[in-house]
Structure 1
């Protein structure tokens, strides 16, 4: 079989990336092999996407491009069990906290003195990738060639936007865009709860809250306004919005979000130790 992309891990993010790659024609189903330990999930992947599946990580590890889509907690065990690795392979990892140096050591090219020559890209996508609206930050290892960077960029452009950052900033990326969808979901839920508290039916409140956040994000993106500018445009003197903003400030809304990002970034750093 001729495999162009091997994937270890058939979970939510792995599936999101594969489904978008297939939908956009970046790869054909016959080009992709996913290694997944759970039989029911393998059957689902094969039925849903038509890709090749296996429970042998070594088969995926022989592909010219390998995407690691596993939990960081099982990284050591997965790589310890690998006995076959394509020496010319590009390794792309979406594991939070696992450094490029760790990846280079885990996937040797040949002799021990050459271990650091592995082409490695570290990436941090987020869950909106499942609907093609994600954003992925990538950092590249020293030995990644220009054409390999193009391959990695193309893979993640299938699920949204791509930015390149130094690896030293990846924990911060994890805290902001990696964990950020949870913060936004909480904010939407709280907005809807506020609407219910003010007398709205739940269904209407949920719809208003969701579309307000979606519309505001779209407006900011397309208008290139700074968020503070948009806030000022909505906030009229002595009006309803400034009354609400004052309550947010009183409750420490900004500070809570800042501290959430920093806490998540710190946790990402801990996972890499």
Structure 2
């Protein structure tokens, strides 16, 4: 399979651009709920201010894909392991294992070359702000592409969390293909009330979404996704789990029909002076032990 971590990037982009749950014992606060537009703008502001902290971390990611046949039965399963980190502000997914087996020296070399190309391509986009911002959707645009409704307060891991539903408006005018996809989505967003941080998102396509009569992209109706974040080291929210199911095809980048699950772990913070290169398997840690998610408060 293509790198699952890259394939899921667009789903996480939806969450970071955007802004029942399983609850723990106890009751959520009964104070008045915040206004939805104001809350979403605060989430958007939090995502921007936390970008630098996110780039200070490295973590391990494990993905498993089950491809289905035309009858819905599993015909093939594959796994991938990768390290996720940032180089010069560029998010890197370095593949380390395929189906539980370490990459061969030749595969490692090809992976390093792929990453070098990704970094060069990303830097080129950074030099062209118009191109770089093409698929960035602000909260203001989300409010034009659909509507938020049914705000409610729930507890997740003992923390007050605001849940809000989103429904796209199929008649909304769009400016980009990404906006067109959002217009055909519906789902729920959970926001950590104290930090104004994304805690969880889930969504699905209410209609089959096609670009170029399906030649460029074809996402079947009811294809769905889910992603969660966890607070690390008391300072930053990082992706923890993600999943998706359905039928999605985007050019030669992604051809998926089945289920996909991603689990992240072993979060580590590294010094800004640490050398992180695709060809290296170690990272200089800031602390001797890996950072674990915060326990419930």
TM-score w.r.t. length of structure 1: 0.29
Instruction: Identify, as 1 or 2, the structure richer in strand.
Output: 2
Q: Give the TM-score taking structure 2 as reference length.
A: 0.28
Q: Which has the larger radius of gyration?
A: 1
